Structures are given as structure tokens and as C-alpha cells.
């Protein structure tokens, strides 16, 4: 497939390739939709097997960010940046080179953290460009973006429990956290404070052992036990599709609600979950905390207003799940329809100028 066909198929506005041989930089930026404002996207860095995987990740992440921003009532569009390389290739020079490329885009893309990058990497990008948002407070942000995201996901989990189980509390609810990285470990603390029963799995044994040392009541599972584990809620916080069309029948949970990307392979998988009686709360609805933080930093709003905005995830989740139940449709389809309804309505009043230009 040629490049223009890829752009058309992905519904993209732009697809940009960067390369700096001197520092080993290979990067792809996908800008999906800027109807609501400048595109924002996380900077993901992984050692992909081939270029097709790089492109797919960039396009999928950009599309999801468009939906996330639309549902979160943010004045931002959808984009993504994917760097192709192993973790050991991370250097100051590489990220500063990428920062110079981002700067050349002149505000068309605003960047945040994603899988494979951390606050130090973003700080190095920030040395070359101002188009970096949702940094930790120590680096000029207004909050810890991982904690803000975890709080948003927690609001989504509580809202889902309210609709599905008819209870406001998570006390006694069995939650299986898949992934013990930044987001997963933050969620474990919040779930423990809410007195949920916690199961956890990760491919890195040391990570889950450290968590279990702090929370002895947590039960560890092997990664291959997740789908068949009996629990109330699976909380995906790891890379990779949790289920596909072949493995949905293996699930023994009642709810899937987490902050990982690519939990389901397609919309049809959401329909299959509905038929199985499993509620899937779309991740791009509840993991919008970091995006909301970036939106507030761009508008120079306070931390108090940020917390209030993140808290709205609870009410949006309740409204979405109740609307989906009333319509007898999968929550994933309902969420996508709501997002595109907002995008379509905004399209009728013309293309807005970027907030970055307004803020300068």
C-alpha cells in the first residue's frame, strides 16, 4: 500500500517521517484530526519488528487520541509520535533531535509521555521545543501525569461498578490489574485504599513482587492466567490486545475497564463482549487524565480545576454506560458515536485556530 493510501485508510490529515542518522532516530508522527484544536499525542518508543508495526501503532494511537479528546471535552485533536528503537538506544541526543523535529512542526503536534518514554525523555525534548505538556511538577507541569491518569481510570472503574453492580463502593470487588508499570502500580494503591480485592500480573516478576511486598493481601497470577481468571473487573494496564475474537469466550470477568491502549482489536470485539454479558468501558474514555492535564496547562488553568475536570470522568462514564444499556448497544460503539457527534458538530462552525497560537 502506498503512503497516500495509508493516509486515506487511516483517516489522517498528515503522516510524517523523521530520521536523524547521527543519533539513530527513526520516528513517525501521525496527525489524525485537528477539528477541535492542535493534535496532541504521546511519544511511544519500542523496538518494533518492522515498519508496518510502527505505522499501525502510530495510526491507532492517533485515532484513539481524537476520540479521547472529543469525549473529554478538550480543545485538542488527535495525534501520536512513535520512535522505533530499543530502550538501550535512548539518549539525550536522540530525544533532543526529536524535539527539534517537533519544533519544526510549529505547534501542529503537542507531545506527552507514552509507553517507552519517561519524564527525563520529555525533559530532553523540552530543551528543544515548547510543545511539550503534562510534565511532572518538577519539570514545570502542574501535576504528576501518571497519578492524574490513574485517578481518572479509578473514577471510570467506580462509575462502571455503580452501573453494573449497583454499588458506589469497590469494597470486596475483585479487580485483576494486568501490568505493574507506572499506571498499574498507581492503580493498585488506589484500589487497595478502596478496599478492593486485588489480583495482579506482569511479565516482570520483580515489579509484582515489590507491589506484593507493600500489599501482602494481593494475589499474583501468571500472565497466561488472566483471561481465565475469575474476577469482577479486569483492569488492563499493559501492552497488547487483551482479547480477540477467538479468546473472548475464555473470559470469566464481568467488566473490562483499564488504561491500556489496544485492549480490543476492533469494534466487532466490543459487540461480542456485549453478547457475552461483559461490559467493556472504553479505555479512551477513562484514561484521559494526562490529556486533560495537558489541556489545562495549555489554558494556564489551576490544579484545582484539573482535579475537578478529571472527576468528570465518573459522570461521563455513568452517562455513557447507561445510554449504551438503554440503546442495547456496546459501550464502545456508543463512545465512538458520541465522540464523532461532537467532531461533526464542530465541523459545522468551521476549523478553529490552535490554542497554541491563542496562548502565545
Q: Domains of the chain: which residue ranges? A: 3-66+77-132, 146-342
Rg (CA), the chain: 20
pTM as predicted:
0.93
What integer pLDDT is reported at residue 140 of this predicted model? 86
60, 114, 109, 104: which is closest to 83 by C-alpha?
114
172, 176, 195, 194: which is closest to 184 by C-alpha?
176
Cα dihedral 233→265→312→235 (10° resolution): 20
pLDDT band at 89 (very low <50, low <70, confident <90, very high): very high
Instruction: Express each pLDDT in 20-50 by its tens digit.
Output: 999 999 999 999 999 999 999 999 999 999 9
Instruction: Express each pLDDT in 233-256 by its tens digit.
Output: 999 999 877 899 999 999 999 999
More confident residue, 148 or 348: 148
CATH superfamily assigned to domain 146-342: NAD(P)-binding Rossmann-like Domain (3.40.50.720)
Half-sphere exposure of 137 (CA within 13 A, CB side): 7
- The answer, yes or no, to whether residue 1 has pLDDT greater than 80, is no
CA distances from residue 312 to 121, 194, 238 in whole angstroms, order as listed: 30, 19, 25
Q: H or E stretch including 45?
A: strand 39-46
pLDDT band at 360 (very low <50, low <70, confident <90, very high): very low
CB 112 within 8 A of CB 41: yes
For range 325-336, the mean pLDDT: 97
Residues 6+ apart with CB under 8 A from 166: none
Hey, which CATH number is domain 3-66+77-132, 2.60.120.260, 3.40.50.10860, 3.50.50.60, 3.30.565.10? Answer: 3.40.50.10860
- The answer, yes or no, to whether residue 358 has pLDDT greater than 50, is no
Reduce the secondary structure of 30-41 to three states and give it as a string.
Answer: EEEECCCCCEEE
More confident residue, 312 or 262: 312
What integer pLDDT is reported at residue 242 of this predicted model? 86
CA distance 226 to 160: 20
What integer pLDDT is reported at residue 156 of this predicted model? 98
CA 244 to chain centre: 19
pLDDT band at 349 (very low <50, low <70, confident <90, very high): low
Reduce the secondary structure of 272-316 to three states and give it as a string.
Answer: HHHHCCCEECCHHHHCCHHHHHHHHHHCCCCHHHHHHHHHHHHHH
Q: How many residues does the chain have?
A: 360
What integer pLDDT is reported at residue 138 of this predicted model? 87
CA distances from residue 117 to 60, 128, 245, 341 in whole angstroms, order as listed: 18, 17, 31, 33
Does 146-342 match 3-66+77-132 at the fold level? yes
175, 158, 160, 164: which is closest to 277 by C-alpha?
164
CA distances from residue 97 to 21, 24, 66 in whole angstroms, order as listed: 10, 10, 26
For range 187-202, the mean pLDDT: 97
196, 159, 158, 161: which is closest to 176 by C-alpha?
196
CB 22 within 8 A of CB 96: no
In percent, the amount of the chain with pLDDT more than 70 equals 96
CB 25 within 8 A of CB 17: no
What integer pLDDT is reported at residue 139 of this predicted model? 85
Residues 6+ apart with CB under 8 A from 318: 159, 162, 163
- The answer, yes or no, to whether residue 359 has pLDDT greater than 50, is no
- The answer, yes or no, to whether residue 354 has pLDDT greater than 50, is no
Instruction: Express each pLDDT in 263-302 by its tens digit.
Output: 999 999 999 999 999 999 999 999 999 999 999 999 999 9
For range 95-114, the mean pLDDT: 97
Amino acid at each position: 500500500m502506498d503512503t497516500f493510501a495509508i493516509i486515506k485508510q487511516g483517516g489522517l490529515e498528515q503522516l510524517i517521517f523523521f530520521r536523524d542518522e547521527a543519533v539513530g532516530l527513526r520516528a513517525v508522527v501521525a496527525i489524525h484530526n485537528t477539528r477541535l484544536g492542535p493534535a496532541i499525542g504521546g511519544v511511544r518508543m519500542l523496538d518494533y519488528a518492522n515498519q508496518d508495526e510502527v505505522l499501525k501503532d502510530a495510526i491507532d494511537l492517533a485515532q484513539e487520541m481524537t476520540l479521547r479528546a472529543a469525549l473529554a471535552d478538550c480543545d485538542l485533536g488527535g495525534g501520536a509520535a512513535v520512535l522505533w528503537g530499543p530502550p538501550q538506544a535512548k539518549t539525550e541526543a536522540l530525544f533532543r533531535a526529536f524535539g527539534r523535529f517537533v519544533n519544526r512542526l510549529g505547534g501542529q503536534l503537542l507531545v506527552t509521555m507514552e509507553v517507552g518514554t519517561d519524564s527525563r525523555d520529555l525533559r530532553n525534548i523540552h530543551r528543544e521545543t515548547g510543545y511539550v505538556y503534562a510534565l511532572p511538577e518538577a519539570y514545570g507541569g502542574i501535576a504528576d501525569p501518571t497519578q492524574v491518569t490513574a485517578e481518572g481510570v479509578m473514577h471510570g472503574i467506580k462509575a462502571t461498578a455503580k452501573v453494573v453492580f449497583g454499588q458506589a463502593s469497590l469494597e470486596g470487588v475483585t479487580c485483576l490489574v494486568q501490568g505493574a508499570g507506572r499506571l498499574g502500580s498507581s492503580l493498585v494503591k488506589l484500589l487497595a485504599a478502596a478496599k478492593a480485592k486485588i489480583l495482579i500480573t506482569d511479565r516482570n516478576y520483580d515489579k509484582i513482587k515489590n507491589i506484593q511486598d507493600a500489599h501482602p493481601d494481593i494475589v499474583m497470577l501468571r500472565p497466561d492466567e488472566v483471561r481465565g481468571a475469575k474476577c469482577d473487573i479486569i483492569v488492563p494496564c499493559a501492552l497488547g490486545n487483551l482479547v480477540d475474537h477467538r479468546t473472548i469466550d475464555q473470559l470469566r470477568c464481568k467488566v473490562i475497564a483499564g488504561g491500556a491502549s489496544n485492549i480490543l482489536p476492533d469494534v466487532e470485539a466490543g459487540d461480542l463482549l456485549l453478547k457475552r454479558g461483559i461490559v467493556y468501558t472504553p479505555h479512551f474514555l477513562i484514561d484521559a487524565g494526562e490529556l486533560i492535564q495537558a489541556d489545562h496547562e495549555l489554558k494556564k488553568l489551576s490544579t484545582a480545576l484539573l482535579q475537578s475536570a478529571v472527576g468528570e470522568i465518573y459522570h461521563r462514564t455513568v452517562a455513557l454506560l447507561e445510554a449504551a444499556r438503554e440503546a442495547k448497544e456496546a459501550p464502545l460503539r456508543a463512545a465512538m458515536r458520541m465522540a464523532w457527534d461532537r467532531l461533526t458538530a464542530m465541523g459545522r462552525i468551521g476549523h478553529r485556530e490552535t490554542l497554541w497560537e491563542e496562548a502565545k
